[in-house]
Chains A and B, each alone.
Chain A
Amino acid sequence: MTAQPQSQTSPTRKRAAALISGGLDSMLAAKVVLDQGVDVEGVNFFTGFCVEGHTHAIRRKDRSREKRNNALWVAEQLGIKLHIVDVIDEYKEIVLNPKHGYGANLNPCLDCKIFMVNKALVTDVLGRGYDFVITGEVVGQRPKSQRADTMPLIAQESGAGDRLLRPLCAHNLPPTLPEREGWVDRAKLYGFHGRDRKPQMALAHSFGFTDYAQPAGGCCFLTDESYAGKLADLWSSRGVRDYDFDDIMLLKVGRHIRPASHYKLIVGREEGENNFLAGYRKRFVHLTTLSHTGPLTLVDGAPDTDDLILSARITARYSQGRNADEVSVEVHHLSGAVEELRVTPLSPTELEPAWQVGA
């Protein structure tokens, strides 16, 4: 597979796809190339693990904040188009079988970068014929995917070769095709390296960017220790490394408590999460509290009668009746039958720390 450059606007004006995550680095990288007269379009991949969007919408406490999609915001600031590509299904292979392994948690950053660059440029998933691709990578910034020795690997294994331009650290790398051909002026690119963010912030300042997003850690939930713990637990409890979209959504929500290997509880932590979990009511045995205000709890797995009593006691523990002698809990079975249980809320000492998944 080779990229088929086909400049559509004018024979001389080159077209570049910029991978836009919504963070500062990819924004700066796109801006630097845009300012050199290149026709830049943004591409954003939605893997299902992205921090953007979902969780802000679910948790009520986040609702008061302005909910903006940072990738869209970046595109609007830059005045470029943004194409958001749903890669949820294809991305599974990257998460489940990363050729280059994982980073600190379940983040397959190296394979992920290779995948995204390949999709944007070589596979030309948008069918728009880009001449080259731009990323905001900086040599030495991330322990695994942004090292001097892994950066050429991304170029090579993605199939982009020297059509992959990293404007923020270009001076630390050999000249790429866009530089050699004069599509961009190498002198106007940068030589950032390492974890110091000051050069990026200074460049942002010089462009007048102030309100940019600064996600801690990475751009996705796979870098999150707690989330990765929940995903690993899902795999080990099912005995198979697999997931569907609902699985990975549910891992973002609620307290996950596994009293035994054959079932797990997902307990809503606040109203927004309860509402979100309510959307899954028909597909899970679930519990609600009757005598007191309390959470909605989904039961994932195959609980028996005793397990449901324990589930009711755990649900009661997270209700307003946690200090009451008795809490009335409704168990909603998959058949539609509803059973009322009167239980003593589980005391904090009875709740085994080992049950808390990803805590």
Chain B
Amino acid sequence: MYEFITGPLLWVVFAAFLGGLAYRVVWYVKGLHWQLDRVAYSAFPADGAKGAVRSIFFWLVPFGTRSWRIKPGFTAIFFGFHIGAVLVPLFLTGHAVLLHERFGINWPSIPQGLADWLTAAAIVSLVLIGLRRISLPEVRIVTSWYDWLLIVLAGLPFVTGFVAVMHWGDYQFWIIAHILTGELLLVSIPFTKLYHVVGFFLTRAQLGMDFGIKRGGRKGRNMPW
């Protein structure tokens, strides 16, 4: 079982994940339309690139934009979740070992203690994100079952992985549960709005280009995100 789900199944999962995301990127970029979007994307590549990079950069930095700064609570739980959600799966020692064993790739990793803390922070943050959804009327009104499904999908691998690593229960059960929910999450990403893992960069770049090319960038004014 373990062999299969960390072997052939993992191959399939990676293929679906990467292939699906690649399709998303190609579909998005091909669908950009200078006239309908009213942005002269290719006429001013330098202004566009600058706007895109600024637009992505400031939003990646915690408290880097006015929007992040005026909502410090949300910003804290947002980054609390996302930092762990990106770093731990990518650089967990256990994952690096698996990559080496299965695919012969040497992969860097972060200290286990740090990974544990990041995971705990991610789980707590996700719970708080959920509570926020319930308690704030302005979030409740836009929330649907789909949003809850995604929170569960995104949370499961972290919870199961954490329980396994902490040896709080039957390790075998939890590690298998972790691998399967992790694979489920990976496959879901391209097929749900979780494709924001690439979509974020695409939409941010697009709006950055809009401001960089059309809405002020060429007047020498950088968008003060």
Same complex for A and B? Answer no
Chain A residues near B (Cβ < 8 Å): none
